[in-house]
Structure 1
């Protein structure tokens, strides 16, 4: 199964959510995971390199992957039907190299915020994905949501996004996310992320594999 995390807007929390999901699937659900880091900032690859020690192979493999070579990488990975491939996409939509990745996705997760620029970028990403890949499930995840802020357009935005997929409960903004690594989820973060990750696994990943 290919799980794609994307949004045209940088800073939406794609890499953080990729790490959370990869750690959760490996540690909690005991699944074989490979992460393809296609984001230009390559923050996941940097974290993986930093956490490497000789006696520890790591929870999962992190592969820096250029858009151009994705088709070749995917053709190798897809032979293992039990493997979950998680892709951290670049934060832009103006490269034709994105098309093979979007086409290959079984599940598209899109973190977003309720500010105007994030919403516009999210809707554009949703429209492109829905036209290119009509089979993949799509879940929009409100991310880094400040509990002290009242989002006036929340209902309107959620309704607009539901034309393209489902909207999950929100993940609140927490400073603890900065301590996230490729092998560890900070204990303080678990209560706020586990319900969302359980939802992704039970309602999308398991349902997709059984389907």
Structure 2
């Protein structure tokens, strides 16, 4: 299964969510996963290389890639229930190189925050994605949500996004997200993030 982790809006935690998802799938569930790092900052690839320097046993592989290289790369990606391909997208919509990525994906995980600009960017990203790949499933993840987020705004945004896809439980903004690596999810974060990934992947990768 090919899963995009993306949003047009930067700073919503795409790369962190990609690592957390891969950690959950491999460390917690014993699945096979691969991250394709297409983000311009290549932060996932940097975490991966740092972990290798420390001689950790990597539970999955991370491949830095560009939009231009994806058509060739996609021909070797495995589409089966036991191998999850996670693609960390760049935060943009104005590149034709995104078309084959969007067309090949089965699922998009779209992190967002409860502010007007991020909401508008999220809707635009979703509408464009759906036009290119009408069959793709969309899961919205409220991410890095601060404790003072207004309930009224959250309720209104959720009501609108539910018309476009599924919404998971929110992931709060916490300082221990800075301690995540490609071999380790802090124990304090497990009860916060793993239920979200269970909600996303359980019915799609493991039939109940």
- Tell me the TM-score range normalised by the shorter chain: over 0.9
CA distance in 2, matches of 1:61, 1:127: 31
**Deviations for 1:5-28, whole angstroms, at most 9, x for unmatched residues?**
000011011001100000010001
* 1:95 matched residue in structure 2: 95
Contact 1:22 1:33 in 2 (8 A): yes
- Please state how far the C-alpha of 1:151 moved relative to its aligned partner: 4.3
Unaligned runs of at least 5 residues, structure 2: none
CA distance in 1, matches of 2:49, 2:55: 14
Aligned residues: 208
* 2:107 matched residue in structure 1: 107
CA distance in 1, matches of 2:74, 2:198: 26
Matches within 5 A, 1:173-192: 173-192=173-192
**Deviations for 1:86-126, whole angstroms, at most 9, x for unmatched residues?**
00000111111111111111111000001111101100011
**Deviations for 1:55-109, whole angstroms, at most 9, x for unmatched residues?**
5441111000100010111111236663210000001111111111111111110
* 2:69 matched residue in structure 1: 69
CA RMSD of superposed structures (Å): 1.7
* 1:194 matched residue in structure 2: 194
* 1:154 matched residue in structure 2: 154
Contact 2:38 2:66 in 1 (8 A): yes
CA distance in 1, matches of 2:12, 2:154: 16
**Deviations for 1:132-177, whole angstroms, at most 9, x for unmatched residues?**
1111211001000012332432222112212211111100111000
* 2:48 matched residue in structure 1: 48
- With the length of structure 2 as denominator, give the TM-score of the two structures: 0.94
CA distance in 1, matches of 2:151, 2:16: 22
Contact 2:57 2:183 in 1 (8 A): no
* 1:123 matched residue in structure 2: 123
CA distance in 1, matches of 2:8, 2:98: 11
CA distance in 1, matches of 2:70, 2:26: 23
Deviating above 6 A after TM superposition, structure 1's stretches of 4 or more consecutive aligned residues are none
* 1:204 matched residue in structure 2: 204
CA distance in 2, matches of 1:196, 1:81: 19
Contact 1:47 1:182 in 2 (8 A): yes
Contact 1:113 1:145 in 2 (8 A): yes
Where 1:76 maps in the other structure, the secondary structure is coil
